[in-house]
């Protein structure tokens, strides 16, 4: 049996196949180069479309700063006809039938809406080693009336020519005291409950002058404003007006009459 012998190719046919193989290699190499080039270019453009970490951190920060500046400006718009800015004095008396809902703070009645601020002020002050207390807070108009009548009787007994006027120098006429509003408080300390100028020199009096505004309270009858308030300097008498207004008034050194445009 003779074995199968493949037919021998001619020399020209062998060259043809060699040439074809070489051409295929060249095509494969060229295609590979093209694919790699496209891949590199694509990666570069992708990287360009995402900012680096530094850019991501720095770019939004400027817009955040702008927002932070803009927000408080809107928040400082204060409605000057709001309940906490109600002006009560000799020329702006409360109506006889005025009532207010009160809560008890340190044994005294105070407007329920402002009571938490008063409570916090006293707690924070005393937590710093002071001995702040309340001498007087809300007084109803009927109670003020009885106080006033008692003073008139005293004046009459003392032979005053104008008993009502004399009484008014000691006790505010009913409805004209901020204590009738429920937003005024007379402070004292365990060592000073005199309700006179000396309280301003106590550690508690000093603390109030520096910190009360943070809780929405102002020294209502400051030194140098007597011509406007018509009340002597009273370092013990504070009035709640809200934190935003208190901060603004403290910064501008103006009294409530000036702030609400009734000076
Ligand atoms: Zn007072």
DSSP state of 192: B
252: alpha, beta or left? (left if phi > 0; alpha if psi -120 to 50) = alpha
78: alpha, beta or left? (left if phi > 0; alpha if psi -120 to 50) = beta
Question: pLDDT of 102-130, one tens digit each?
Answer: 999 999 999 999 999 999 999 999 999 99
Question: pLDDT of 129-186, one tens digit each?
Answer: 999 999 999 999 999 999 999 999 999 999 999 999 999 888 889 999 999 999 999 9
Q: Which 3 state secondary structure label does DSSP give 8?
A: coil
CA distance 197 to 130: 18
Per annotation, catalytic residue among 151, 178, 204, 234: 234
258 is catalytic: no
What's the pTM?
Answer: 0.69
What is the residue whose two structure tokens read 């009927």?
Answer: 142
Write down the mean pLDDT value for the chain. Answer: 81
pLDDT reported for residue 106 = 96
CA distance 114 to 165: 33
Distance 217 CA to ligand 1 centre (A): 13
Distance 157 CA to ligand 1 centre (A): 26
Distance 178 CA to ligand 1 centre (A): 7
């Amino acid at each position: 049996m003779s074995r199968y012998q493949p037919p021998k190719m001619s020399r020209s046919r062998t060259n043809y196949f060699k040439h074809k193989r070489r051409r295929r290699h060249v095509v494969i190499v060229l295609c590979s180069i093209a694919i790699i080039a496209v891949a590199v270019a694509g990666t570069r453009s992708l990287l360009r479309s995402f900012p680096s970490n530094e850019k991501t951190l720095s770019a939004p920060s400027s817009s955040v700063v702008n927002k932070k500046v803009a927000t408080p400006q809107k928040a400082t718009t204060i409605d000057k006809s709001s309940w906490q800015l109600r002006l009560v004095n000799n020329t702006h008396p409360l109506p006889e039938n005025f009532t207010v809902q009160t809560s008890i703070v340190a044994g005294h009645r105070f407007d329920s809406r402002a009571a938490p601020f008063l409570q916090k002020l006293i707690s924070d002050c005393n937590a710093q080693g002071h001995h702040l207390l309340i001498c007087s807070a809300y007084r109803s108009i009927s109670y003020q009336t009885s106080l006033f009548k008692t003073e008139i009787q005293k004046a009459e007994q003392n032979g005053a020519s104008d008993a009502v006027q004399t009484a008014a120098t000691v006790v505010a006429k009913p409805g004209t005291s901020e204590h009738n509003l429920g937003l005024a408080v007379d402070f004292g300390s365990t060592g000073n409950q005199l309700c006179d100028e000396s309280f301003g020199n106590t550690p508690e009096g000093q603390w109030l002058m520096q910190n009360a505004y943070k809780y929405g309270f102002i020294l209502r009858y400051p030194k140098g404003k007597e011509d406007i308030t018509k009340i002597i300097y009273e370092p013990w008498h504070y009035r709640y007006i809200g934190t935003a207004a208190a901060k603004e008034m403290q910064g501008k050194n103006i009294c409530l009459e000036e702030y609400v445009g009734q000076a």
